[in-house]
């Protein structure tokens, strides 16, 4: 009897142990599926739409992976020393997609082309080999010649004379030197020609030298004779070979402190509505006519040659201080309407304690300038309607303070950064060789647009 009881107990114990082991194995399997496998295979997400009946499951997004690089694909630059090979991602060269990686979100492309440093959405630096910048002009430095008519001064880069390096510019790739010595034309790696003052062409052209057409004026003030041929363009237009706008809005290093400022007190301390500094009273954009109409409905103090108020171009710091303390708005009106044409009239105002009112032919969002940073005249049917909105904000210090705070953490980097791109491109073996005739550039650069907001002059809105 005792033996039978022991056998029964032992059998029961074995059954319990075996059951526990089986349960444990099943539990570990589920943990593996949930924790380990899910790291590589994302489950189908459940998207929920909120309507009047509450939240409902909606299987309207069946695809869990964006695999092909589209127009809005993100560009990742792998910053690799020249002595290294490039196969860290198992990918090929420039513009290769993430398709082979089977990422949940693969709408990206990758490159090792250092000339893409400014345009890249991300740059990966390798810890053991952080050669992030070639700063000193070495023996293999690229020589850039600035082709300047003899009547012009030479300080466009803030650099000195012959063999001066890019050191002060702090470029990611700065192994370049610059000169204005025309005798170096044949040996130069690149020659920069100013659109408005091309001067006489070099006597002999080296096919290896890149000729760059640069222009920061609108098409209204640009001419180009037919005998010229260039390899790259360098302008304020986004689709230039070297994008060189009047400024690059960037995050201020002290942005946390800037956000904490008491902008309500700033708003309450201001005593005047709007200011405008202008020297060209007859611009193609008809900005003077627009402002005269605007003055029928609100106060605008005009400084410079076209108005009774004076501040002085050589007293910029004093003028800016006056704007910060006195005015709520500044008219950043361009002299011409053209694609992407936005000048220092906006970029110099953005960091100040004043809201710019913009008028141009550009799409500001396309240039990285969000609507919260400025008031666009094109959002209003007429100067009268614009005046109503500005006076409305003048009475609402809280709302005005919010506008100031929205742009409090930005500063504007110099347009000189475009020259960093030239240096990087010259060091890139994959940079394509291009050729633009004068006609090609004229067709691309286009013409000025007529202003599209002057209906009030003909009895319209």
Q: What is the mean pLDDT of residues 62-69?
A: 40
- Please tell me which residue in 99, 167, 217, 289 is annotated as part of the active site: 217
Q: What is the mean pLDDT of residues 421-439?
A: 91
Q: Do 144 and 422 meet the contact criterion of CB atoms below 8 Å apart?
A: yes
- What does the pLDDT read at residue 356? 98
The 10s digit of each residue's pLDDT in 25-40 is: 554 445 444 433 333 3
pLDDT confidence band for 137 (50 / 70 / 90): low
Distance CA 1, CA 80 (A): 81
Q: What is the mean pLDDT of residues 306-325?
A: 89
In this structure, the answer to whether residues 349 and 266 fall within a common structural domain is yes
Give me the helix-helix angle, 383-395 and 287-294, nearest 10°: 50
Q: What is the mean pLDDT of residues 231-257?
A: 86
In this structure, the answer to whether residues 258 and 347 fall within a common structural domain is yes
Of 88, 103, 131, which marks where a domain is finished? 131
**Angle (nearest 5°) at CA 205 between 200 and 206:** 150
pLDDT confidence band for 325 (50 / 70 / 90): very high
Q: What is the mean pLDDT of residues 190-207?
A: 89
pLDDT confidence band for 419 (50 / 70 / 90): confident
Of 94, 111, 131, which marks where a domain is finished? 131
Most confident of 30-34, 107-111, 430-434: 430-434
Distance CA 461, CA 456 (A): 5
In this structure, the answer to whether residues 68 and 116 fall within a common structural domain is yes
Is residue 136, in this structure, part of any structural domain at all?
no
Is residue 59, in this structure, part of any structural domain at all?
yes
- Tell me how many domains the chain contains: 3
Distance CA 137, CA 143 (A): 9
Distance CA 410, CA 44 (A): 39
Of 131, 150, 181, which marks where a domain is finished? 131
Q: Residue 171: which of 417, 430, 426, 425 has the closest Cα?
A: 417
Neighbours of 185 (CB within 10 A): 19
Strand, helix or coil for residue 37 = helix
pLDDT confidence band for 97 (50 / 70 / 90): low
Report which secondary-structure segment, H or E, holds 74. Answer: strand 74-79
Q: What is the mean pLDDT of residues 319-339?
A: 96
The 10s digit of each residue's pLDDT in 225-241 is: 888 999 999 999 999 99
Q: What is the mean pLDDT of residues 92-109?
A: 66
Is residue 82, in this structure, part of any structural domain at all?
yes
In this structure, the answer to whether residues 355 and 437 fall within a common structural domain is no
Is residue 379, in this structure, part of any structural domain at all?
yes
Q: Residue 407: which of 211, 258, 237, 239 has the closest Cα?
A: 258
In this structure, the answer to whether residues 404 and 315 fall within a common structural domain is yes
- What does the pLDDT read at residue 66? 38
Per DSSP bridges, beta strands 47-51 and 54-58 are: antiparallel
pLDDT confidence band for 222 (50 / 70 / 90): confident
Tell me which residue has tokens 């409090």.
408
Distance CA 18, CA 15 (A): 5
- For residue 131, indicate whether it is catalytic: no
- The domain of 82 spans 42-131
Is residue 69, in this structure, part of any structural domain at all?
yes
Q: What is the mean pLDDT of residues 285-295?
A: 97
CB-based burial of residue 439 (10 Å sphere; 0-12 exposed, 13-18 middle, 19+ buried)? exposed
What is the signed CA dihedral for 2, 7, 13, 16, rounded to 10 degrees? Answer: -130
In this structure, the answer to whether residues 262 and 357 fall within a common structural domain is yes
Is residue 385, in this structure, part of any structural domain at all?
yes
pLDDT confidence band for 3 (50 / 70 / 90): very low
Is residue 235, in this structure, part of any structural domain at all?
yes
Distance CA 321, CA 343 (A): 20
Residue 181 has pLDDT above 80, yes or no: yes
Q: Residue 238: which of 55, 381, 43, 445 has the closest Cα?
A: 445
First-to-final CA distance of the chain: 110
In this structure, the answer to whether residues 283 and 409 fall within a common structural domain is yes
CATH code (residue 194)? 3.40.50
CATH code (residue 337)? 3.40.50.11660
Strand, helix or coil for residue 220 = helix
In this structure, the answer to whether residues 75 and 110 fall within a common structural domain is yes
In this structure, the answer to whether residues 260 and 396 fall within a common structural domain is yes
When mean pLDDT is compared across 47-61, 246-260, 279-293, the lowest value belongs to: 47-61
- What does the pLDDT read at residue 33? 43
Is residue 298, in this structure, part of any structural domain at all?
yes
- Which pTM does this prediction carry? 0.69
In this structure, the answer to whether residues 231 and 296 fall within a common structural domain is no
pLDDT confidence band for 378 (50 / 70 / 90): very high
Distance CA 53, CA 406 (A): 36
In this structure, the answer to whether residues 279 and 334 fall within a common structural domain is yes
Stronger pLDDT, 215 or 21, i.e. the higher one: 215
In this structure, the answer to whether residues 251 and 223 fall within a common structural domain is no
- What does the pLDDT read at residue 392? 98
- What does the pLDDT read at residue 155? 52
Q: Residue 242: which of 25, 416, 54 has the closest Cα?
A: 416
């Amino acid at each position: 009897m005792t033996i039978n009881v022991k056998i029964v107990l032992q059998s029961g114990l074995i059954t319990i142990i075996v059951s526990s082991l089986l349960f444990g194995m099943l539990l570990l399997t589920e943990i593996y599926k949930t924790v380990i496998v899910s790291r590589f295979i994302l489950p189908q997400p459940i998207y929920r739409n909120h309507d009047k009946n509450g939240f409902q499951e909606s299987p309207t997004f069946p695809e869990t992976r964006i695999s092909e690089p589209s127009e809005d694909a993100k560009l990742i630059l792998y910053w690799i020393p020249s002595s290294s090979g490039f196969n860290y991602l198992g990918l090929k060269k420039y513009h290769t997609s993430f398709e082979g990686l089977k990422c949940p979100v693969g709408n990206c492309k990758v490159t090792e082309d250092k000339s893409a440093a400014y345009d890249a959405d991300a740059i990966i630096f390798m810890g053991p080999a952080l050669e992030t910048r070639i700063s000193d002009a070495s023996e293999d430095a690229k020589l850039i010649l600035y082709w300047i008519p003899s009547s012009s001064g030479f300080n466009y880069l803030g650099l000195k004379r012959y063999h001066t390096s890019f050191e002060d510019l702090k470029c990611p790739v700065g192994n370049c030197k610059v000169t204005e010595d025309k005798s170096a034309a044949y040996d130069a790696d690149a020659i920069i020609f100013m659109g408005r003052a091309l001067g006489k062409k070099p006597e002999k052209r080296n096919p290896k030298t890149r000729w760059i057409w640069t222009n920061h004026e609108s098409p209204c003030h640009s001419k180009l004779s037919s005998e010229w041929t260039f390899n790259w363009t360098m302008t304020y237009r986004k689709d230039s070979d070297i994008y060189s706008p009047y400024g690059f809005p960037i995050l201020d290093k002290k942005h946390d402190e800037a956000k904490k400022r008491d902008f309500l007190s700033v708003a309450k301390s201001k005593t005047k509505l709007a200011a405008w500094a202008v020297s060209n009273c007859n611009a193609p954009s008809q900005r003077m006519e627009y402002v005269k109409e605007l003055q029928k409905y609100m106060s605008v103090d005009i400084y410079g040659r076209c108005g009774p108020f004076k501040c002085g171009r050589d007293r910029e710091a004093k003028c800016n201080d006056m704007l910060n303390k006195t005015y709520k708005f500044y008219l950043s009106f361009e002299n011409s309407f053209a694609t992407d044409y936005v000048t220092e009239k906006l970029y110099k105002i953005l960091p100040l304690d004043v809201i710019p009112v913009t008028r141009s032919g550009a799409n500001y969002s396309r240039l990285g300038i969000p609507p919260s940073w400025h008031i666009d005249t094109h959002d209003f049917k007429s100067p009268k309607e614009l005046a109503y909105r500005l006076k409305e904000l003048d009475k609402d210090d809280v709302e005005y303070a919010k506008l100031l705070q929205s742009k409090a953490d930005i500063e504007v980097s110099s347009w000189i950064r475009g020259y960093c791109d030239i240096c990087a491109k010259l060091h890139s073996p994959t940079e394509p060789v291009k050729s633009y005739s004068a006609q090609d550039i004229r067709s691309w650069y286009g013409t000025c647009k007529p202003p599209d907001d002057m209906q009030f002059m003909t009895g319209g809105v």
